[in-house]
Structure 1
Amino acid sequence: MTVSYQSKVSSSSSAGFTKLLFLWRGSLYQVLYRELLLFMVAFIIISTLYRNAFTVSQKEIFEKVVRYCDAFITQLPLSFILGFYVTYVAKRWWNQYLAIPWPDRAMHVITMYVEGNDDYGCMIRRSLMRYLILTLILVLRSISSPVKKRFPTLEHVAESGYMTADEIEVFYSLPKVEFNTYWVPCTWFITLLKEARKSKRIEDSEGVKLIMQEFIDFRTKCGYLWSYDWISIPLAYTQVVTIATYSFFITAIVGRQYVEGSNKMLQTELDVYIPVFTIVQILFFMGLLKVAEQLINPFGDDEEDFELNFLIDRHTKASFLAVDYLAKIKLPLVKDIYFNELEVSIPYTSASAPFKKKSHRGSVHHMPVPEDQHMMFLPEIIEEADPDQSKSRRPSMCSNKNEGKINSNCKDKVNDSFGIMQVVQQRSSSNGCGEVGGFGGGGPNSNAPTKRGGGGGFKQLAQRKSDATQPVVLVSMTRRPSCNSGQWKPFKWKSSDCGEQRRASVGAGSRPERHQQTNVDLQKRVRPETVMAAAVPAIVPEGHVNTAFVPDRLQRDVWSVPADLSL
């Protein structure tokens, strides 16, 4: 039975916790007094033999043994081993308590959705709850010794009213199996629930769903209880902790002896017969081990084990009371005593009046705000640039603070990564700089949408707005490295004057790799009759503009340039 002492520590005064040291039931002294008496008797006997019965040579040998045992005790990490083990056992102990199913939620849902105050309706509700409690009893009979002593056979279960004669007969008629059959009443629960639905005792299908949810939760926890009994803490782990603790216990009987010429710290002549600090260590280490031994199986009959027989009685009485007697009572609907009061004042007794405190209204509830800061307005929000978007756009090749204005100092820009020249228009009266995005997307100052991603092929030409009165020319320009000087120069898109030399520079008879190919290497030959000519003003120097042909597939991607701009 669990020892409860909550009422004795209702306040944090030192007197309240001091009283706990004098409790016997479930205390440290109750579980440890045998080991402590054995240690003290053995320690006194060995100390007496050393001083009165040993010869000089025997004393020398004994003193060496004492020093050896004392060194062993110092090297043993017992605090770490015990602390971790007890923490794990205590957590498992509490989880096992949480796994014990309670039928309260199920009985409320059954009372809500199973209709009928006649005998048949009450029988359905009571039988459903009886099957749930019977499942719990069958589980506890297989894992708890107190419950097994209460219900040693199924006849005792039937005699207690949890099974009928027909149900026992069905239970015994099952084929012999090698596993636990505590779940059989669960099938009876489901069958009865289906009959209640067919007989219109449960009119709402949502009610069947909620009842099944509570039933599954109850059934799951019963499985957890059985699993906790089946899967224990690894035996080797428990053996390690037990051997380490009892090794300290036995070794301390010899290693903590007070011998002649001893210079141990915290050891005086008082330790000749009563080792004070060693006794404290025994209480600490052996006490932790005893705590773990009591918590490792909470379904037994120790002082700290769960009161399972009490839970069976409680669940049975509460379930039958809720689904039968209380379900039939209909109380009249009345107004409460505070019905017409806006502010409710709840009375206190004289004993509880000192505990009435002001409610917490917030840590900054009383913080004053200056009146000159009460004016409300809409502040401007400065949006930060998206780092991912800035990485995906090509940085500007020349400063551009005024959109649409082109600085006369701007030069032709070259995108070396794609072998494409950036075409920059120049206006003598402008004092800004603009640029056209290269292949794969417009630059930071370009308004042209991107229609093609990066890769081989012609560059994407941007389309800019122009005045309606100005004529429009179509421009298409690319660049490639010169064969002789290695410098970049403009060329006509159909020309391939030194392709053989460039391929020879990479390897005789081989075509350059994909990343080494220029637009001329990648473009396809187009027959003259399949292309459309583009009008170019005569003022544009020949050799800088494609004066030949522009493929019709480029006509929709051309860049409109005002006619008064010159290259």
Structure 2
Amino acid sequence: MTITYNLDVPHSHLKGVLSILFRWRGSVWKAVSFPLSCWLAGYYFVFCVYYFILRPYDRYIFDKVTNVLETRIDTYIPMTFILGFFVSSVLGRWQDTLKNMGWIDGTAVAVSTYIRGDDDETRAIRRTIIRYLVLCQTCVLRNVSVQVRRRFPTLEAIEAADILTPEERTLIEKTEDKYSQFWIPIVWVEEILYDARMKNKIASDFFVETIAKNIDIFRSQLQNLLKFDWVPIPLVYQQLVTFCVRLYFFICLFTRQIIKHDDQGLPESVLFWIPITTIIEFIVYM
């Protein structure tokens, strides 16, 4: 879910910077707080085992192994390349989804412009066309969005919202193919346009074509939403990114420890006990 923050940061002065940096809802801090807490718990568990349980020779072996891992981890796990491509793919899908939400404004303007008349029949034609388009959008979104599905769990709920009539609901329910149900209202709209042209409610074929093009764009946008929902980013790549990121920070549990296998004891400053650089890296990658 996208969190709106525009009004909190209208300017680039210090207050605006702090407002955007320390927001909690929808923020990076909320996203990484739990996994970071789990990672820190594991880090200090290894820390305690290293300093209080392992023998000097075991520490020496531990240091040798972690040195090899730390030297070669960036070569074996190219995090920058993997996450860069993955983030660009996810952001691209998010932008395409936003563009294909099914904006009805263009079609509504064309309908109100080219279907002229103040009589009851003409007004009913305009309203019915828009209602059918809203019905089509509702049927698609309830199969894509959990929030819309909760608002309209069944066709009866859509009927109760006056977007659908009982007769129309019966016709849709008779269609067994779920995919075809999405576009039945579009077919009804095309039939209404044809009848309106035959009755001279629309002045020319060019106007009919203009309205039909807007309707086809609207339908294509909704179709793209279904494609995004049905065909996610390939599972192999999802698994690769998830595996690499988790493996990288699992190795960091050992490689980012304060290496001290001599007899000098624990670090004097408490700041040395906090892996600040790794925490920053964890926030950025996660």
Q: TM-score, normalised by structure 1?
A: 0.47
Separation in structure 1 between the aligned mates of residue 148 and residue 98 of structure 2, nearest angstrom: 16
Deviation at 1:78, TM superposition (A): 0.7
Separation in structure 1 between the aligned mates of residue 78 and residue 269 of structure 2, nearest angstrom: 28
Deviation at 1:72, TM superposition (A): 4.0
The corresponding residue for 1:101 is 102
Separation in structure 2 between the aligned mates of residue 156 and residue 147 of structure 1, nearest angstrom: 11
1:217–1:127 CA distance, 2 compared to 1 (3 A): same
The corresponding residue for 1:280 is 280
Q: Is the 8 A contact 1:258 1:271 kept in 2?
A: no
The corresponding residue for 1:160 is 161
Separation in structure 2 between the aligned mates of residue 145 and residue 210 of structure 1, nearest angstrom: 34
The corresponding residue for 1:172 is 173
Deviation at 1:244, TM superposition (A): 1.1
Separation in structure 1 between the aligned mates of residue 113 and residue 219 of structure 2, nearest angstrom: 20
1:82-481 alignment runs, 5 A limit: 82-174=83-175, 176-177=176-177, 179-261=179-261, 272-286=272-286
AA aligned to 1:283 is: I
Separation in structure 1 between the aligned mates of residue 151 and residue 215 of structure 2, nearest angstrom: 26
DSSP-derived class of the 2:221 partner? helix
The corresponding residue for 1:46 is 46
Deviation at 1:166, TM superposition (A): 0.5
Deviation at 1:105, TM superposition (A): 1.5
1:56-67 alignment runs, 5 A limit: 56-67=56-67
Separation in structure 1 between the aligned mates of residue 39 and residue 174 of structure 2, nearest angstrom: 57
Separation in structure 1 between the aligned mates of residue 19 and residue 60 of structure 2, nearest angstrom: 47
Separation in structure 2 between the aligned mates of residue 147 and residue 180 of structure 1, nearest angstrom: 20
Q: Is the 8 A contact 1:158 1:165 kept in 2?
A: yes
1:180–1:192 CA distance, 2 compared to 1 (3 A): closer
DSSP-derived class of the 1:106 partner? helix
1:178–1:22 CA distance, 2 compared to 1 (3 A): closer
Deviation at 1:272, TM superposition (A): 4.8
Deviation at 1:261, TM superposition (A): 4.7
Deviation at 1:146, TM superposition (A): 1.4
Deviation at 1:139, TM superposition (A): 0.9
1:521-536 alignment runs, 5 A limit: none
Separation in structure 2 between the aligned mates of residue 83 and residue 249 of structure 1, nearest angstrom: 17
Q: Is the 8 A contact 1:158 1:164 kept in 2?
A: yes
The Cα offsets for residues 496-552 of structure 1, whole Å up to 9 and x where unpaired, read as xxxxxxxxxxxxxxxxxxxxxxxxxxxxxxxxxxxxxxxxxxxxxxxxxxxxxxxxx
Deviation at 1:198, TM superposition (A): 2.0
Deviation at 1:34, TM superposition (A): 0.4
Q: Which has the larger radius of gyration?
A: 1
Deviation at 1:277, TM superposition (A): 0.9
Deviation at 1:278, TM superposition (A): 1.1
Deviation at 1:119, TM superposition (A): 2.1
The corresponding residue for 2:36 is 36
Separation in structure 2 between the aligned mates of residue 72 and residue 255 of structure 1, nearest angstrom: 11
The Cα offsets for residues 23-74 of structure 1, whole Å up to 9 and x where unpaired, read as 1111111000001111111111211121112223332332233223323433
Q: Is the 8 A contact 1:47 1:272 kept in 2?
A: no
Deviation at 1:271, TM superposition (A): 6.1
DSSP-derived class of the 1:182 partner? helix
AA aligned to 1:105 is: G
The Cα offsets for residues 437-495 of structure 1, whole Å up to 9 and x where unpaired, read as xxxxxxxxxxxxxxxxxxxxxxxxxxxxxxxxxxxxxxxxxxxxxxxxxxxxxxxxxxx
Q: Is the 8 A contact 1:131 1:188 kept in 2?
A: yes
Separation in structure 2 between the aligned mates of residue 66 and residue 11 of structure 1, nearest angstrom: 47
The corresponding residue for 1:390 is none
The Cα offsets for residues 217-272 of structure 1, whole Å up to 9 and x where unpaired, read as 1111111111122222111112111111111111111111112159xxxx996565
Q: TM-score, normalised by structure 2?
A: 0.91
Stretches of structure 2 lacking an aligned partner (at least 5 in a row): none
Separation in structure 2 between the aligned mates of residue 166 and residue 131 of structure 1, nearest angstrom: 13
Q: Is the 8 A contact 1:73 1:252 kept in 2?
A: no
The corresponding residue for 1:4 is 4
Q: Is the 8 A contact 2:107 2:211 kept in 1?
A: yes
Identity %: 30
Separation in structure 2 between the aligned mates of residue 25 and residue 277 of structure 1, nearest angstrom: 25
Separation in structure 2 between the aligned mates of residue 48 and residue 272 of structure 1, nearest angstrom: 14
Larger relative contact order (C-alpha < 8 A, sep ≥ 6)? 2
AA aligned to 2:184 is: V
The Cα offsets for residues 319-347 of structure 1, whole Å up to 9 and x where unpaired, read as xxxxxxxxxxxxxxxxxxxxxxxxxxxxx
Relative to total residues, which structure has the larger helix share, 1 or 2?
A: 2
1:133–1:242 CA distance, 2 compared to 1 (3 A): same
Deviation at 1:193, TM superposition (A): 1.4
The corresponding residue for 1:315 is none
1:270–1:62 CA distance, 2 compared to 1 (3 A): same
AA aligned to 2:282 is: I
Separation in structure 2 between the aligned mates of residue 55 and residue 153 of structure 1, nearest angstrom: 66
The Cα offsets for residues 61-108 of structure 1, whole Å up to 9 and x where unpaired, read as 322332233234332321121112111211221011111121111111
Stretches of structure 1 lacking an aligned partner (at least 5 in a row): 287-567
Relative to total residues, which structure has the larger strand share, 1 or 2?
A: 1
The Cα offsets for residues 259-313 of structure 1, whole Å up to 9 and x where unpaired, read as 2159xxxx99656521111111111111xxxxxxxxxxxxxxxxxxxxxxxxxxx
